[in-house]
Chain A
């Protein structure tokens, strides 16, 4: 078979559109997600994402549980960033009920959020390169650091994956004595590790060939598709909830927001790697400013917030994570809605994939870095 160029093929051959199923079982670590692609030769002409394989009805379950019982439920949304989910939900309920959080608890929340961000980005970048075919090597390198973070988070919450750590009015436990020395050790080692990853991957010819100018999305398209997080920032839009609508004293911290230029897969990767460094900066400042004091302003176990509604959002690893809580005065919420960044990042999937080859589809999909728990809820 002679390989003809795309143009010649259209002139001399007429090919039928073949419909190919990608998923729901993937060789890569993205979870159960199915894409139905119409492929003409090698080029994707139409794509239809199919969700729902992990739908557990979390929003409906939440209507039958008390507010405090929902916190472990929020862990299971984006299961690689439980701390952030907890934080967003607790902030929403605190806004609704007017609960104050002590200062030490706010700084601890910042530390946990940033550790979670580093963990999730390491995992996301590792899987991205896995899809590209590096046979797990960058993945394992990043895993070593990820394990250190998991150990840190296990120290405070007793859990390795679903932490259930935040409470209304603070956090559930204070930091143990072994936490800060271990965290300082981690902060000393991490910058050199990030240098190692960048040295290995940034200028790699094959990485550039597979990801530069691939899966490009324009600024306008990204804003119109409600994309948020690193995917939006890679297109050049400087929109980070920690800066535009600061919560948890983020306006007192000194950090930059990395912004890309082209909106391709490579820029998304670079934005995430750069965010690792910024998170380290925030962690150092948070540790140095950490005051003494209480970590919890307790609320009753089955507390009844006043009737009303509140929406609160955080900058999670995937994008803008928001919780909309509507209360009717009872001890169970009337409605809980999760603004899931992964689902909305997928709104732009069609535009990102059409016109590219099948081999690029997995890479582009991996560069968006979604978590199915959040998409399907």
Chain B
């Protein structure tokens, strides 16, 4: 079974419809895995947040609350689907689909074992970034189609946040691409004899924070904030369409964890457990850190969020590319620990200098 999954080339050449079989198996596998893990991760997040807050979390529906998400899903599915009278019907219906589909598609290029992925694109990273940009189109469509000026304003704000954080996101991966020499995720995993988190801590730092902002999680979750008690972009949605938006948020978190685990933590590599189990463990680890951040930190104001992206993350990402490029050009055979320490030194010095000298009156960097 594992050889079947891990060597798709054999599927292609042996069977007459091998290519299509491969696509079918992987497509079903990805969708099934994603939807199941959303259910599990929603439960996991609620239990984990509960433990952070000195309480148990859901423990009534099922032995340790494992049927809580099922109960929530049933509740949402049985709600009435209301469409505002003057909403644009087609766009209203399309918006959740536009938001959700790119998230699933992104998983096509994440390897679950050596060489086992839906499509081994040689522009894997670029594909991921392109897909994640489509999500902002879905958000804007949702706000626009609702015919509600407050939800339109709110969706514009969210789109601004998403677009602003795309740039540090992409730039942070350039360092990794330079070290690997390829955009394909499969090659990146194979090139990680040492996990890239140690060689590119700056890249990991920027990527992680920027993707937190991309998925609108705390501390960047302006949408759920009290000031948005006027409206969010999905205020007019109910029933299955709202469930799709809710699903999108968790799927984005899982996909982001998967990409982080693949690019920075070594993907499916690891001793004596099947590769897919390692991948799932690493995804769980990154997701736990995301939940940890959510349980601990307050949220930032919108102008602080923008300032943080443009004034803090972007210069750091550019500096990262500079340092990594210098090392590769001038000293290509440098041992790994020198690469890693130089990168770490950059991060530490940048954060220290920015926070000590560019903090007007105690407010954080980026506050106007």
The reply to whether chain A is a binding partner of chain B is yes
- Which positions in A face B, CB cutoff 8 Å? 1, 3, 5-6, 20, 22, 26-28, 42, 129, 131-137, 140-141, 144, 200, 204-210, 212-213, 357-362
A141 touches B304 (CB 8 A): no
Query: How many angstroms from the CA of A170 to the CA of B274 in the assembled complex?
Result: 73
A-B contact pairs, 19 of them (CB 8 A): A6-B368, A20-B230, A28-B226, A133-B218, A134-B296, A134-B297, A140-B54, A140-B55, A141-B53, A204-B297, A205-B364, A206-B219, A206-B300, A208-B363, A208-B364, A209-B304, A209-B363, A357-B227, A359-B301
A206 touches B229 (CB 8 A): no
User: Is B52 an interface position by the 8 A CB rule?
Assistant: yes
User: Is B280 an interface position by the 8 A CB rule?
Assistant: no
- Which positions in B face A, CB cutoff 8 Å? 49, 52-55, 156, 159-160, 218-219, 221-222, 225-227, 229-230, 294-304, 306, 355, 361-364, 367-368
- Chain B nearest CB: distance from A130 CB in Å? 9
Q: Which residues of B contact A213 (CB under 8 A)?
A: 361-363
User: Contacts A140-B54, A357-B303 given: A133-B221 contact, CB under 8 Å?
Assistant: yes
Q: Which residues of B contact A42 (CB under 8 A)?
A: 302-303
Query: How many angstroms from the CA of A213 to the CA of B368 in the assembled complex?
Result: 12
> Which chain A residue shows the least CB distance to B362?
A212
- Chain A nearest CB: distance from B162 CB in Å? 12
Query: How many angstroms from the CA of A28 to the CA of B226 in the assembled complex?
Result: 8
B301 touches A357 (CB 8 A): yes
Q: Which residues of B contact A5 (CB under 8 A)?
A: 368
Q: Main SS of chain A's interface residues?
A: helix
Q: Which residues of B contact A210 (CB under 8 A)?
A: 298, 300-301, 304
Q: Which residues of A contact B368 (CB under 8 A)?
A: 5-6
B300 touches A209 (CB 8 A): yes
> Which chain A residue shows the least CB distance to B301?
A359
> Which chain B residue shows the least CB distance to A144?
B54
Which of B159, B218, B226, B363: most chain A CB closer than 10 A? B226
> Which chain A residue shows the least CB distance to B219?
A206
Cβ-defined partner of B52 (8 Å) among A132, A137, A361, A362: A137
Cβ-defined partner of A135 (8 Å) among B218, B301, B367: B218
Which of B49, B156, B298, B363: most chain A CB closer than 10 A? B298
> Which chain A residue shows the least CB distance to B361?
A213
Query: How many angstroms from the CA of A144 to the CA of B219 in the assembled complex?
Result: 25
- Chain B nearest CB: distance from A236 CB in Å? 17
> Which chain A residue shows the least CB distance to B297?
A206
Cβ-defined partner of A360 (8 Å) among B52, B294, B301: B301
- Chain A nearest CB: distance from B183 CB in Å? 30
A133 touches B225 (CB 8 A): yes
Query: How many angstroms from the CA of A320 to the CA of B301 in the assembled complex?
Result: 33
Q: Which residues of B contact A20 (CB under 8 A)?
A: 230
User: Contacts A20-B230, A129-B298, A140-B55 given: A135-B49 contact, CB under 8 Å?
Assistant: yes
